Chains A and B, each alone.
Chain A
Amino acid sequence: MDIVEILLKILFAILVVVVIMTIAAYSVLAERKVASWIQGRVGPNRTALPGLSAIPVLGRFLVRMGMWQPLADGVKFLFKEDPLPGHVKKWYYCLAPVVALVPSLSTVAVLPFGAYWVNGVEYPLVLANVDIGILFILAISSLTVYGIVMAGWAANSKYPYFGSIRSSAQMISYELAMGMSVIPVFMWANGPATGFGDLTLFGVVAAQKDLWLGIWMPLPAFVFLVSLFAETNRLPFDMPESETELVGGFHTEYGSFKFGLFFVGEYAAMAIGSAVFVVLFLGGWNFLPTFGFLPDWVANPWATWGWFGSVVSVLFFIGKTLTFIFLFIWVRWTLPRFRYDQVMNLGWKYLVPLAVASIIIYAIVIALWDTAVTVDHIKPETFGPAPQ
C-alpha cells in the first residue's frame, strides 16, 4: 500500500464521517420536524442564514423547513457554558460522551454504502471490506453501552444511575436477539446465493440481487428491526432516557457540548443501524429485486454508467436509509413506552426464541434448497467476486 492510497483512504474516511455526522444532525432536525407534523405543529422554521435565505423561492422554503437549525444547534452546543457539576467523577464524566459517539462512527468502516463496476464486476464502495463485517459491527456497536454506563456512573446521581443500569441490561439482552437474527441472512448469503463466502456485508448485498431478504425472511427482519429499536434506545424502548420517570436518564447531568455529543451519538447510531438494516434485508443499493426472472439490469440499472452510476448507487442507498430513519421517528411519536421489566420480558421471552426459531426454520429450508437446487449447479464462475 503506497502513501497515496493511505492518504486516499484517510480522506475517504473523513468524508464518510462527515456524511454520517451530517445525516445525524439532520436526523435531529427530521425528528423535530416529523414530530411536529405528526402533532399538528410546524416545527423549527425560523433559523435563517443571512443572505442564503434571500434566494427567491427556494430560500424561503429552506427557512420554513428549518434547514439551518442543525447548524444553529451545533453552534449553541459548542458555545454554551460547559457545566461541570461538583459531584461528578470528572475523568469518566468527560470521557463518557466520547465513548458513546466513537463506536457508532467506527462501524462505518466496514459498512458498504455503494458499488462501482469494473468490466461488469461489482466492487463495493467501503472503507475496509473486511471478512468479519457483521461481527465487527455487532461487536463495536455494542460498545456504545459503555458510554452510557460510564455517563450514569460518573454523574454520581440517582436518576442517571438508573438510566445507565437499565440501558446496560437492555443492550445485553437485545444484542443476543439481534446477533441471532442475522444468522439466517448469512446462511443464505453464504449458501445458495453465492455458493460460499464469508461475513462481509458486500456479500450479503450481492446475494440479494434476486430477492431482498426482507421479503422472504420477514421474521429475522422483524426481530432485527425490533432489536435495533432497543439497541438505539428509541421509543418504545427508550429505557435509559424515559423522560417521564428518569427525567433525562443517563444524560440528566450533562449539558452543552457533552450533551450534544450524546445526542449526535444517538442519532448516528440510528443512522448506522438503519444502514445495516438496509444492507442486510433491503438489498443495499440494489434498485429492485429481479425475482429471478426479471432482466439483470433491474437490480442495478446504473451499473454501466461509470462513476456516475456509483454516485447514484450511494444516493439510492442513503435514500433507503433515510426512509428507515423516518420509520424510527414515526414510531417514536406514535407509541407509548414499555416498562423496564416488560422490555426484558419481550427481549428474552419472545425475541430470542423467535430468533432461534428462525435460525432453525431457515437452516432447514436452506439446507433443503441447497440439496435440491444449488449444489448440482455450482460452478466456479458463479462464485461471488473475491474481496478486494
Chain B
Amino acid sequence: MAKVLERKPLTFAEKTYLPQVLGGLKITFKNMLGKKVTMEYPEERPNIPDNYRGVPTLVHDPNGREKCVSCQLCEFVCPPKAIRITPGSIPEGDEHEHVEKAPQDFEINMLRCIYCGMCQEVCPEEAIFLQDVYSLVGTSREELVFHKKKLYELGGTRPDQHYKWDVKKAAEEEALAGNGHH
C-alpha cells in the first residue's frame, strides 16, 4: 500500500511565519520547564543491564581457580585480533594440577578490542567475561595492553554452575579409589 504524502499549501497566516514561530516557542518553553534528561555522570551512574558488554576480563571460579585453560578459542575468534595468549602448563604439585593448562600470559590489547563479546560467547570454560566496566583510561599504549594479572583483577570471581574440572578430578579420584577396591 502506498501512501502519497500530501503537501498542503500554507495558509496565509502560516505564510507570515508567525503562527509557527509562536507554536515553536510554546513547545520549547514547555520543554524548558520539563524534566531534564541529562545524567550528571560522576554523581549519577548509568544502569548497567545484565548482559552488558564492557571490558573483557578473566574470572576465577568460586574455588579460586583461574578458569581459563588457554584453549585459545577466543584468540581465534576475536575479529580485530586483540587477544594474544601464551599457553602454559600448570606446574606439578599445584592444587589445580588436574586441569591440563592455564595461560602463562593472557594479553588483551584494549586499543584493538571492539567489545563485540565473541570471546565470551565462544569460551568453552566461561572464563572470559565482558563485565560492567565501561570507563577505561590509560596514558600510554603499553598501559592499555592488559595482561593476565590486570584481567583477573578486573574480573573477580563468577559463580560456576558445573565445576567441570572439579567433577573430572572427583571422577578420576573415584576411579582411582574404585580401582583400589577391585
Q: Residues of A with Cβ closer than 8 Å to B?
A: 34, 36-42, 45, 330-331, 333-335
Contacts and interface: CB of A to CB of B under 8 A. Distances in A.
A39 B31 contact: yes
B141 to A, nearest CB: 28
A329 to B, nearest CB: 10
Interface string B17-43: 000010011011101101111101000
A41 B36 CA distance: 5
Contacts of B38: 36, 40-42
A318 B29 CA distance: 22
Contacts of B21: 331, 334-335
B35 to A, nearest CB: 7
A319 to B, nearest CB: 19
A38 B28 contact: yes
Interface of B: 21, 24-25, 27-29, 31-32, 34-38, 40
Chain A residues touching B, majority SS: loop
Most A CB within 10 A of own CB, among B21, B28, B34, B37 = B28
Contacts of A36: 38
B40 A334 contact: no
B25 A330 contact: yes
Given A40-B34, A334-B25, 19 more contacts: A34-B32, A37-B31, A37-B32, A37-B36, A38-B28, A38-B29, A38-B31, A40-B31, A40-B36, A40-B37, A40-B38, A41-B36, A42-B40, A330-B29, A331-B25, A333-B28, A334-B24, A335-B21, A335-B24
27 contacts: A34-B32, A37-B32, A37-B36, A38-B28, A38-B29, A39-B31, A40-B31, A40-B34, A40-B35, A40-B36, A40-B37, A40-B38, A41-B36, A41-B37, A41-B38, A42-B36, A42-B38, A45-B40, A330-B25, A330-B28, A331-B21, A331-B25, A334-B21, A334-B24, A334-B25, A335-B21, A335-B24
B125 to A, nearest CB: 45
A45 B28 CA distance: 21
Contacts of B27: 334
Contacts of B25: 330-331, 334
Nearest to B39: A42
Contacts of B32: 34, 37-38
A37 B34 CA distance: 8
A39 B33 CA distance: 10
A24 to B, nearest CB: 22
A34 B31 CA distance: 11
B92 to A, nearest CB: 58
B22 to A, nearest CB: 10
A40 B38 CA distance: 7
A221 to B, nearest CB: 14
A131 to B, nearest CB: 37
B17 to A, nearest CB: 9
A334 B28 CA distance: 6
A42 B40 CA distance: 8
A138 to B, nearest CB: 25
A45 B12 CA distance: 44
Contacts of A42: 36, 38, 40
A4 to B, nearest CB: 49
Nearest to A336: B24
Nearest to A34: B32
A38 B35 CA distance: 10
A40 B28 CA distance: 10
Nearest to B26: A334
A34 B40 CA distance: 17
A41 B32 CA distance: 9
Contacts of B28: 38, 330, 333-334
Nearest to B21: A335
Q: Which of A38, A39, A42 has the most CB of B within 10 A?
A: A38
A38 B32 CA distance: 4
Contacts of B34: 40
Nearest to B22: A334
